[in-house]
Structure 1
């Protein structure tokens, strides 16, 4: 799955840099506001992608390190930080399940729209807790699965059809268990609908034609509960136009 993620995100890193879904949004502001920052903090951003989260925090903390398993994403993030004059940010290639940092190295660890790609999620959360200082915060934003089994299956299948590197989006109860097992308290700070434009979503994922057909079929006859939950919209010809993912901001402090 790690090589699958590298292949997927090497295709068009610039689209992830420029996509408003990642480059802006109130969720970034909410993440930065989750903790009272003094300017002396060190931060690690995991699955940094094009670097939006690390760059957003860089004005408020002492130093940011962003890691991503995909080399081209690391290069894109470094160039983007230079364009943004974010001088206290460094980007490195790295694996969330094997963090190459000493224990208790960071005041804050962030992860935004990336954890659903982690094939070793338990190990990754264990590593995050290890590198956090006591009293440090883990701030997570990701798509969130429903506690309802049918809705969970529907949305995870949709994302796996589009992107083979998608492992799983987890429910809040699953996240709570992972946090608490690793000595992190658990607090949901915000929930919101993440609107997805269907054609842009396909284009960003560089989806081949055969998978487009499977995705179209999956969205063609959703149950009413799926239609309502994910705001699925079709045009007059029955072609998907848009839907939403359910997103969540979770904060955990290391005891």
Structure 2
């Protein structure tokens, strides 16, 4: 069975929403990433889980070549159309998975991955591949939401995300990321943490979550203990229906040793 089949199903039906969503199309973290990258203009960049291409497009003015990969053919089509529309001839896209990158060793000065790693079916293999294709001294910039170290809260947020999006595999904790970076010869630096604010109805619509599952999600949110509700900033209306929440997000940098 294709390990990415759930992701392909999820994002093929929804590519335009991810193209247009402000969470993916904009976001302060894109500028933070560019500042941390500190490129000179000659760099080659690989963006993993590129979706509609927003991350690699944001770097287009400070690199000489950018490649975005995604497992979803429809997403690749959307990204290619945007690149053509913006006349970005040095930005290309191809269909590939993170755990088997179709590139030789030390091919890239910079690897980015933004809000995609929690979909990877084999994160350890993916991190090994990221390290392999990075040049010595090259940078890996990761943006993703992460799980708390508290096991119950970890299970709460991962179960919530899997209910809403079956292609969600796992958002890792910061201690897990620390281990993954170390195991793959990446010197880890914690750059920024923030609360990723989520409008509940937009989140559900973007996920195309079936109505039957929506009821399960509401029950899951309502049943959260007070500390968990506070941590994820769960908000409800007068009928105790969810209106908003936040995910805990981080920008991490790894430098290839």
| Bin for the TM-score computed over the shorter chain | over 0.9
1:80 is displaced (CA, Å) by 1.4
In structure 1, the residue matched to 2:214 is 212
1:162 to 161, 164, 176: 164
In structure 2, what is the Cα distance between the partners aligned to 1:13 and 1:190?
Answer: 28
1:186 counterpart SS class:
strand
Distance 1:82 1:24 in 2: 19
Alpha-carbon distance in structure 2 between the residues aligned to 1:37 and 1:147: 34
Aligned with 1:192: secondary structure?
strand
1:81 positional shift: 1.7
Match of 1:57 in 2: 59
Q: CA deviation at 1:86?
A: 2.1
* Residue 119 (structure 2) aligns with: 117
Q: Higher mean Cα deviation, 93-102 or 77-86?
A: 77-86
User: Which of 95, 116, 119 is residue 97 of structure 2 equivalent to?
Assistant: 95
* 1:8 corresponds to 2:10: yes
Mapped partners of 1:83, 1:242: distance in 2: 34
Q: 1:228 aligns with which of 219, 226, 230?
A: 230
- How big is the shift at 1:221? 2.1
Indicate which of 147, 150, 161 corresponds to 1:148. Answer: 150
3-state SS of the aligned residue for 2:190?
strand
Give 1:85 deviation, angstroms: 2.7
Partner of 1:195: helix, strand, or coil?
Answer: strand
Aligned residue for 2:79? 77
Residues in 2 aligned to 1:153 and 1:95: alpha-carbon distance in whole angstroms:
26
Gaps of 5+ in 2: none
Provide TM-score, normalisation by structure 1: 0.99
Matched with 2:190 is 188
Per the alignment, residue 239 of structure 2 pairs with 237
Give me the whole-angstrom Cα distance separating, in 2, the residues matched to 1:161 and 1:98: 27
Question: Once the two structures are superposed, what CA deviation does each residue of 1:164-192 show, in whole Å capped at 9, x if it has no partner?
Answer: 11000001110010011010010110000
1:173-221 CA deviation, whole Å, 9 max, x = no partner? Answer: 1001001101001011000000000010011011111111111110112
Q: How many Å apart are 1:83 and its aligned residue?
A: 2.3
Shift in Å, 1:115: 0.2
Off by >4 Å, runs of 4+ in structure 1: none
Runs of at least 5 residues in structure 1 that lack an aligned partner in the other structure: none
Query: How far apart in 1 are the matches of 2:63 and 2:129?
Result: 22
Q: 1:77-108: per-residue Cα shift (whole Å, max 9, x none)?
A: 11112223322100100010000000000000
SS in structure 2 at match of 1:33: helix
